[in-house]
Structure 1
């Protein structure tokens, strides 16, 4: 061992992506922490992935807009001070982003042996 330490490049931001007024906005840093992405995933790449996830999930939930003025108006309860609808929406965004980025970054889902073969 030579004592070298390698750290991923830092690429964090407090940027918030504005959403359709019916749905909650999404913060880059929140997604980065919840999905456990380090700085090797750039803000631009993360923003593109979040935007795509928002477009897809908002499209899938579009019929809810006829039932209320915001997603939180449809909540049936709260956990930790957050509406259950917001928690589920954020979880859907995080899952879609994780799937999108992990699909393109071999290092996130491969073992050492798998990376050698790749």
Structure 2
């Protein structure tokens, strides 16, 4: 009988997931720390969740990208915006959207890890955080686009 130790967060992760060029690359170690990934999430699973999140965000922002490329802007960091903590606010919004989508994806797969009754109970308790993460991702994308977070019509 062998012993398999859980991988510590941030250990031996490939440094970057290359993006399409316009959007920022995603650092696996930073993502692991920001998402509070423990050793139960393998590097390939984290990578898959981040790539799916990047693809989703990129799809939602395709018109934004096309407009700026047509204006001669080659990447998101070149788009005029405020800078906080030495980073473009728009880049921060993009990264937040990707991280929130990836975390929601990983939590949704929680049942795959522990299919006992206790595991299902834990997964059921995570339904609200999944929706919160998806909402935060939508808000980050809307913030990046400069649009309102909610549309309300009076009847």
Whether the TM-score (by the shorter chain) exceeds 0.5 is: yes
Name the SS for the 1:76 alignment partner: coil
1:38 positional shift: 0.9
Give the aligned partner of residue 44 of structure 2. 44
TM-score, with normalisation over the residues of structure 1?
A: 0.79
CA-based RMSD of the aligned residues comes to 2.3
- Matched residue count: 106
Give the aligned partner of residue 9 of structure 1. 6
1:63 positional shift: 1.1
CA distance in 2, matches of 1:69, 1:113: 46
Name the SS for the 2:41 alignment partner: coil
Q: 1:113 to 1:61 in 2, by over 3 A?
A: closer
1:74 positional shift: 2.0
User: In terms of mean alpha carbon deviation, does 33-42 or 58-67 score higher?
Assistant: 58-67
CA distance in 2, matches of 1:90, 1:45: 18
Q: 1:74 to 1:112 in 2, by over 3 A?
A: same
Give the aligned partner of residue 136 of structure 2. none
User: In terms of mean alpha carbon deviation, does 83-92 or 14-23 score higher?
Assistant: 14-23
- Structure 2: gaps of 5 or more residues: 125-155
- Structure 1: gaps of 5 or more residues: 1-7
Runs of 4+ deviating beyond 3 Å: none
TM-score, with normalisation over the residues of structure 2?
A: 0.61
Q: 1:102 aligns with which of 102, 107, 120?
A: 107
